[in-house]
Amino acid sequence: MLANRKIRILIVDDSAIVRKILTEALSGESDMEVVGTAPDPFVARDKILALRPDVLTLDIEMPRMDGLTFLKRLMHFHPLPAVVISSLAQRSCRAAVQALEFGSVEVLAKPGGPYSVGELTQVLASKIRAAASARVRRKEPRPDHPPPPATPLRLPARSSAGTVFAIGASTGGTEAIATVLTRLPASSPGVIITQHIPPVFSKAFANRLNEICALDVKEAEDGDVLRPGVALIAPGDYHMLLRNSGGRYTVTVKPGPRVCYQRPSVDVLFFSVAEAAGNLAVGVLLTGMGSDGAQGLLKMRQAGARTIAQDEATCVVYGMPREAAELGAAAQILPLAAVPQAMLTG
């Protein structure tokens, strides 16, 4: 968080109505101020230089230059924490997930999507606080021909039957999860994942991972079987729990109250994994703001699971892993690049 001053926000959206809704949604936040708005990226570029915002909100579909193109240029020349606010159209959802790859730290649905204006106020403020504390890095322009995907690691010959990998993440987590999953082999133990992400975007995120991973990745549905070679991602706005029936793992996907202000909640997942898989589980807590997952990771460690937290240097936001480290929940604290090998080999 920025010390002793308000978070300065620039709102970039071609809709005057949306600019007004977002400005009003943030007007009651004592630690924030909207310093300007822009109807397109060209106006935004000038206002970024003139107003020096800490965070910008960014629409995807805009005239003259789309938000994705602008984000790529911004993250290369003038890295700045961005919260993408996108419609729920299929094309926009895919673009929003791409925006996370290109450096956006959060993604939200536009008003009129899954959020009422009242709900948007609370969610938007928390996303902007997370973005303001994020460590953003300069992104190199992507080549016309993307590099080949990462080569998956080998599964040890003596891997335990019934092993489950459980991963939790929030701010910055979509790319961290991609880094981990692309290194896991097709024969990997089943992976169960909770990432704080809104409804609909979670499906686009799962589909994107399925394209680049050796694992079969899908958005979880109630009753899905978790088996080796499969990764299940909690759908936005639903908790996901692991169940064990005679050594067969399935998932329960259900509504319920928010836990640590989140739905889906990493704690809900990790507590269920501790009960269902015990010492056969490996728990991994990646980058994110807040404390969700820390108590659950501790419960997993107490149940005999191996537990890992991402280190501060490689986190976009060192919040959830820090809480886990302070509780003694993480047996290992590792840079992101070392996490997949540690999951596979201990």
Catalytic residue numbers, as ranges = 170, 196, 292
Best CA proximity match to 200, nearest among 114, 118, 106: 114
User: Tokens 């891997």 sit at which residue?
Assistant: 159
Verify cis geometry, omega within 30 degrees of 0, for the bond prior to 152: no
Token pair of 33, please? 């101020």
Amino acid letter, residue 262: Q
Rounded to an integer, what distance in angstroms lies between the CA atom of residue 201 and that of residue 122? 19
SS3 readout for 230-260:
EEEECCCCCEEEEEEECCEEEEEEECCCCEC
Between strands 239-245 and 216-219, the pairing is unpaired
Question: How many CB atoms are located within 10 Å of the residue 124 CB?
Answer: 24
Residues 6+ apart with CB under 8 A from 209: 177, 178, 181, 217, 231, 233
Token pair of 332, please? 């290992």
